[in-house]
Amino acid sequence: MEIKTLKTKELLLRTAKTVSEALPYIQRFAGHTFVVKYGGHAMGGERTAETFARDIVMLKAIGVNPVVVHGGGPQIGAMLERLKIQSSFVDGLRVTDAATVEIVEMVLSGTINKQIVTALNRAGGTAVGISGKDANLIEARHLRRTKKDPDSNIERVLDLGFVGEPTKINPEAIHNITASGMIPVIAPIGTGPDGETFNINADTAAGAIASALKATKLMMLTDVPGILTKDRQLISEINAGEIDALLADGTITGGMIPKVETCVKALHSGVQQAHILDGRIPHVLLIETFTEHGASTMIRA
């Protein structure tokens, strides 16, 4: 004989109410594409990875087409350290020489990509791991950056090695994978015009892929709550046109600047909504998608 306490019944009622309130959002987003950038720092431990995988499989099960683009900066750094390969950064970008780009590709397209694929498959999904080199998904070129000398005021071109930026996204492979009921998991490695391998910032790759797919949502998982005001309050919703003012007055600073710029660029290219989410919050993807107020910063076009 099974006896349910009053507390258990209340919990079941709350669960049923939550599922019922999600119905309009499930109906709204069925058949739509979400590009989810899964960052190195947001990956966390094994429990966080399992929760992320369950959320992605849940989205697929209700009819959303999730496309996962992942990074792996901390993991790349750890492998370079193990192999005693020196690495440096310029403006947040890893300087990538010929030796380093081999390790970057090995870690991103190999270890990390297959770990995510395995987690999604264990959660009940069917995931396929590819890199931007597969089917010429990401065509790229050398990323050109300049830096002004504070003394002479002269700008010089920075040599970042095999760091690239997308020039063209060929999304046919993604369409074929999603049409087959599977979940694409993409490592941000690109191919140059002469067959070179390029290391591409995962935020940049996710934004370019979202733009090419005309995704409904670009969801950037990170290790911060979202865009914060100067007194550390979360901005839950903002229009793309208001971003410039926050950049100008110093509200948006540091590593948040390129993330926000990527989101705005994607919105200008046809993406409907961009989200900057705290990947450390359990089930943050579901909270953001299926509740009225969400749990992050949403930027509208």
Instruction: Give CA–CA dist 166/107, Å, rounded.
Output: 20
* Stretch (H or E) spanning 129: strand 127-131
**Cβ contact 242:259 at 8 Å:** no
241 lies in some domain: yes
Q: What are phi and psi for residue 155, nearest 5 degrees?
A: -85, 135
Instruction: Give CA–CA dist 39/54, Å, rounded.
Output: 17
CATH number for the domain that contains residue 52 = 3.40.1160.10
**At which residue do the structure tokens 């900066």 appear?**
73
Q: Which pTM was predicted?
A: 0.89
What is the per-residue pLDDT for 6?
A: 62
Q: 79: which 2 tokens?
A: 């492998």
∠ CA 240-243-246, rounded to 5°:
160
- Provide the number of structural domains found in the chain: 1
20 lies in some domain: no
Range of the domain at 124: 33-300
17 lies in some domain: no
Instruction: Give CA–CA dist 178/60, Å, rounded.
Output: 9
* Stretch (H or E) spanning 56: helix 46-61
Instruction: Give CA–CA dist 219/56, Å, rounded.
Output: 12
5 lies in some domain: no
Q: What is the pLDDT along the chain (301 residues), one digit of tens a residue?
A: 455 566 677 888 887 887 788 889 999 999 999 999 997 666 667 788 899 999 999 999 999 999 999 998 888 888 888 888 877 777 667 777 888 889 999 999 999 999 999 999 999 999 999 999 999 999 999 987 766 665 655 665 566 788 999 999 999 999 999 999 999 999 999 999 999 999 999 999 999 999 999 999 999 998 888 999 988 899 999 999 899 999 999 899 888 888 999 999 999 999 999 999 998 889 999 999 998 777 789 999 8
Q: 95: which 2 tokens?
A: 């300087």
Instruction: Give CA–CA dist 300/268, Å, rounded.
Output: 10
19 lies in some domain: no
